[in-house]
Amino acid sequence: MDTVSIILFLLLAVVVSGAISRMLPVSLPTPLVQILLGAGIGLSTSYRVELDPELFLLLFLPPLLFLDGWRIPKDELLKDLSTVVELALGLVLMTVIGMGLFIHWMIPAMPMAVAFALAAVVSPTDPIAVSAIAARVPIPKRMMHILEGESLLNDASGLVCLRFAIAAALTGTFSAGAAALDFLWVAGAGLAIGVAVTLSVTRAKAWVTKRWGEDTGSQILVSLLIPFGSYLLAEHVHASGILAAVSAGVTMTFAEISRQAMAITRMRRNSVWDTIQFALNGIIFVLLGEQLPAILADAKETVALTGHGTLWWLAVYIVAIVAGLAALRFLWVWISFRLTILRKRDRNIELQSPNWRLVAAMSFAGVRGAITLAGVLTLPLALDDGSPFPARDLAIFLAAGVIIVSLILATIALPLLLRGLVMPPDQSKQAEEDAARVTTAEAAIRAIEQRQHALAEKHGEADLYAAAGARVMDFYRERIESRTNGLSDARKAEERLVREFQLVGIRAEREALLGLGRSRAIGSGIAQKLNRELDLSEARYRG
């Protein structure tokens, strides 16, 4: 019962934090509010949540990374792949090496392997925290795609580096050659297992559906089990469960193209996954806040590990680590943009220096969040000989401080830097979208005509089928005409007004339906059915 109560209480805290963040007169990112709320919970009760590192990693990371891999726009990722790879792999490797050496130099009491482990957990970025920070100041789409792609890959690369650092700390030895071979197995097998599990499951699901029909609940449950199955299978063969979850998510996109689920299944599945993403990310930040009082209570013992006696040294270390991360990221982003995005503008002109605001915004957008916390909490409690893991509490304290300080800095700096900022020009997608709409409309007209003729030949009454088909085909012909010839300014204004009038009508329908329900003029079943129809219509016109 205690475990169930804790889970329910954490979920309630996530809900309350969302409401509080909307009520505040100043714009604070939801993750920061969740940390503060968690700290309040930790201060108000003597009960502490005991986090099992392995269980924490299993419950939180596979579904979050799987969903990131599933939903990230693949075309946009491939377009800026060179930039993303440079940030997600090159910058992570530079951060682990550079910051690991810097942390060990700054805190000699922290063993080299633990310093590299800490550098590995602070290397991944969190785009969800960035989105929350910039909710009132829109991030350029291309920048957000780069941040999402970077986060997807650097989550995996950072945690793989963490795995090697922990192994070195536990065994006391490190071999570059053995690590390289181990990395090839860990990464290659992890990626392959994620792809294989997803393809096998989706094909089996499609085979069952084709013969015996589709059950919406089962389909959603299968999608929830795929990341955990991929993770556990990869870990069982000593490969990377993290990379398996990521590759499973990416594969899910392509598997869905050839094996489509029913519309109702996709809509309900999206809602379930949105809820899971919101709950898991929120719980992670609430747990961070809940752990802070205990971490701060042991601050005197923690600072003693460093050879100092005053608590201010911990703040100095946190600020120094954040400054080092920011400097490395600024330099790397500047070089990366100079060599990739800006060169693509015109390959015949000399390289130009990136806009400093663009580089600064990308640097401050490197906020640490859920993955950093999840990673640092997976540090073992003890070594193989049973002795306590060296400097574990210090590493957790510093990682938590980096998360909080990076959130605060980004909260202040990003809105200022993003206001009026534009990315290097990108090719418009409107022509591609218009062509797709025309192609699908033409396919619809052909299918309706064929069905029309088939019904007329079978049942007669050709006029009836012609009239019904014409009403539907007129809608598609109007779409073809507007998308082929382009939309004039007057037509665009008319479409905006049509959308506005549709929403006005839907609101009126909803109010009338509410009145009918309250007066018992209709039953609850009919009211729910009509409400669902209005929900779908409203979602369409607001989309």
Per-residue pLDDT at 207 exceeds 80: yes
Specify whether the backbone of 420 is left (phi greater than 0), alpha (psi in -120 to 50) or beta: left
> What's the confidence (pLDDT) of residue 369?
81
Name 382's bridge partners. Answer: 388
Between 11 and 463, where is the model more confident?
Answer: 11
Per-residue pLDDT at 381 exceeds 90: no
Mean of pLDDT values over 174-195: 83
pLDDT band at 28 (very low <50, low <70, confident <90, very high): confident
Mean of pLDDT values over 180-202: 89
Per-residue CA distances from 22 to 17, 42, 135, 206, 313 (Å): 9, 23, 11, 42, 35
137: which DSSP letter?
S
Cα–Cα distance for residue pair 214/211, rounded to 1 Å: 9
Choose the weakest-confidence range: 216-225, 302-311, 444-453, 475-484: 302-311
Cα–Cα distance for residue pair 123/17, rounded to 1 Å: 27
> What's the confidence (pLDDT) of residue 348?
44
pLDDT band at 130 (very low <50, low <70, confident <90, very high): low
pLDDT band at 135 (very low <50, low <70, confident <90, very high): low
pLDDT band at 349 (very low <50, low <70, confident <90, very high): very low
User: Which among 500, 534, 323 is positioned nearest to 409, based on CA atoms?
Assistant: 323
Specify whether the backbone of 285 is left (phi greater than 0), alpha (psi in -120 to 50) or beta: alpha
> What's the confidence (pLDDT) of residue 121?
92
Give yes or no for a contact between 158 and 92, defined as CB atoms under 8 angstroms apart: yes
- Residue 10's identity, in one-letter code, is L
Q: Please write the tens of the pLDDT for every residue from 154-171.
A: 877 887 888 888 888 887
User: Which among 416, 408, 407, 381 is positioned nearest to 395, based on CA atoms?
Assistant: 381
Chain CA centroid to CA 370, Å? 10
Q: 418-451 in b/e burial notation, b at 16+ Cβ within 10 A? A: beebebbebeeeeeeebeebbeebeebbeebeee
Name 388's bridge partners. Answer: 382
Of the spans 38-47, 117-126, 161-170, which averages the highest pLDDT? 117-126
Mean of pLDDT values over 33-45: 86
Share of the chain above pLDDT 70, in %: 90
Of the spans 15-29, 87-101, 219-233, 364-378, which averages the highest pLDDT? 219-233
Which pair of tokens denotes residue 87? 């940030």
> What's the confidence (pLDDT) of residue 318?
93
Share of the chain above pLDDT 90, in %: 20
